[in-house]
Structure 1
Amino acid sequence: MSENLTKQRIIMIETIGFPVILIGDGIMETKAINQKQKEIYAQWEQSSMDRFCKNYSSLIDRLQERESISILDIGGATGYFANALAVLLSDKSKVSVCVVDAVKYEPWENLTNKVQFIQADALTLKHLFEKETFDCIFANRIFHHLVSHSWVESVKNMHALCEQVYDLLKQDGYFAVTDHYYEGIIWDEITSKLLYQYTSHNKRMIQKLLYQMGAKSAGTGVCMLSEKMWHTMLESTGFLIENELASPGVWRNLEWYKAFGLLNKRYSLDNVMVCTKKQHEPGRDCI
């Protein structure tokens, strides 16, 4: 590694505000996007940020009771939500926010001095931070994108991230998740597997058809769980869902042909699950 890259790496470690462990050279390329993409992403992220802040309002109020707050936003992409958190919490507390995402978009590098960015895969968190570092960890619409070469491996990825989050969270910390539920007519797991198989299809014609039907992740895959599967995963990892801080989404029905093809009974978007650590050591059984 060159001397310049070494200096960049040292600067990042010194300014991150958290105990960071970097493996390898720690340097990745920044992904530039065009103006049209920037406008689309900016509009989408702005509306999402407002929704997230509203859904997490009770949690934010509770965090403001602490003198100092360390926050991790997994998959924070644009940094809009991280910036909003830094502004909302800084009025009453000393706050430090870190965003970890696999892609760093060039137009959004001007984060506030309270927000730091680490470009890394979500499943490498245990290599980046020491245990019990954060007061709160957010994962907004991230889990269903942790896809691998099979449905089973994708679910294992989701469990692995839960376990890493558990280790990085302080004993009195919060794990805040926003994600979607898909429930099956017969068996939830069948619907989850079918959705994964359809969206992971490598045939271009099939991908195009699915995209036109509304599957924006056609060709890359998604791994959606039901409400029961979500709760089982979180609880087996050692988390307790705080119902008073949770915010369920609105249940909807797919068009009949989509519901038939996925054996789907209903689905719900942007369900908020706020979790705390159980007092005992988790068994961490898989679903």
Structure 2
Amino acid sequence: MEVITMTATIKLLSTEQTKAFDTEYVDAKMFTLVQQALESYSIINKPFTLMDVGGGNGKYADKFLSCYPNAHVTVLDSEYSLLEKNTSNQRKNLIHAPFQNVSDIPKMQVIQFNWVLHHFVSSGYKESCALQLSGLKDAYELLEPGGVILIFENFYDGWPMKELPSNIIHQLTASTSLAAITSKMGANTAGVGVCFHSEKYWRNLLSTAGFNQIKSKHCYDFGNLSTLKKICLCINEQRVGLLIAQKPI
């Protein structure tokens, strides 16, 4: 299977750091939410295309193709070692590139980000937020009118301000001087950075990017941090959810 290579400017994880993502996080219950969303927008009634941004090893794409025989999937990832793990499929294309530099791609009916947008990080916190908004705007342009964007994300609600954990976690994980410490504390993104948000913040970004009919589905609550760490990071609530939005017809 041919892998098309493109280049772009963005802070990327090392090959060693990406090994943790050689897995599949979307279980049967969460995939049902995807199916329900696509059915509600009548996406699956005719042949359609999906771009799986950060799709890595292609396990999600394979699941999707198995469910939808009328679908074609483009798996996009910046880590070549993950793309190499894809099984061959005539209805699956592979692109080796960050999403920020994708060009000359046909319009899609569906674009999906599975725990990927929080890895859109740049030189600082504000720059990372701007990069995420830019990515959503790019997705908007790449979708056909009536196309749908699906986003699985970890939502972090802070106290006393919802976005406080987002800022703190980014500053800690982006610091190269603290990388050894944050890595030992379990931060796989140590030295590069990660930029989580609350559900409300992501909804605002989607709206700003031009999407409408923005919906969300709760998947599950999570949190493996000690009470002390949650207090230090100003975390009030952690949960996983699916955001669904449409480009106006």
TM-score class normalised by the smaller sequence: 0.7 to 0.9
Shift of 1:12: 7.2
Conserved in 1, the CA contact under 8 Å of 2:58 and 2:87? Answer: no
Where does the alignment leave 5 or more consecutive residues of structure 1 unmatched?
Answer: 1-7, 14-21, 25-30, 280-287
> Which one of the candidate residues 272, 279, 284 is aligned to 2:242?
272
Q: Distance in 2 between matches of 1:224 and 1:68?
A: 34
Higher strand share: 2
The amino acid of 1:277's aligned partner reads: K
Q: Secondary structure at the match of 1:220?
A: coil
Conserved in 1, the CA contact under 8 Å of 2:3 and 2:96? Answer: no
Conserved in 2, the CA contact under 8 Å of 1:180 and 1:267? Answer: yes
User: Which residue pairs with 1:194 in the alignment?
Assistant: 168
> Which one of the candidate residues 187, 198, 203 is aligned to 1:226?
198
Asked which structure has the greater RCO (Cα within 8 Å, sep 6+), the reply is 2
Shift of 1:67: 1.7
User: Which residue pairs with 2:11 in the alignment?
Assistant: none
The amino acid of 1:117's aligned partner reads: L
Q: Distance in 1 between matches of 2:220 and 2:6?
A: 42
Q: Secondary structure at the match of 1:56?
A: helix
Q: Secondary structure at the match of 1:129?
A: coil
Higher helix share: 1
Determine if the alignment matches structure 1 residue 140 to structure 2 residue 114: yes
Where does the alignment leave 5 or more consecutive residues of structure 2 unmatched?
Answer: 8-13
Shift of 1:113: 1.1
The amino acid of 2:75's aligned partner reads: V
> Which one of the candidate residues 89, 94, 104 is aligned to 2:80?
104
| CA spacing shift, 1:81–1:264, aligned 2, 3 Å | same
Determine if the alignment matches structure 1 residue 81 to structure 2 residue 60: yes
Conserved in 2, the CA contact under 8 Å of 1:182 and 1:192? Answer: yes
Where in structure 1 do 4 or more consecutive aligned residues deviate above 6 Å? none
Q: Distance in 2 between matches of 1:129 and 1:180?
A: 28
Q: Secondary structure at the match of 2:80?
A: coil
**Structure possessing the higher radius of gyration over alpha carbons:** 1
Q: Distance in 2 between matches of 1:98 and 1:69?
A: 11
TM-score (norm 1): 0.73
Q: Distance in 1 between matches of 2:125 and 2:145?
A: 32
Identity across matched positions, percent: 21
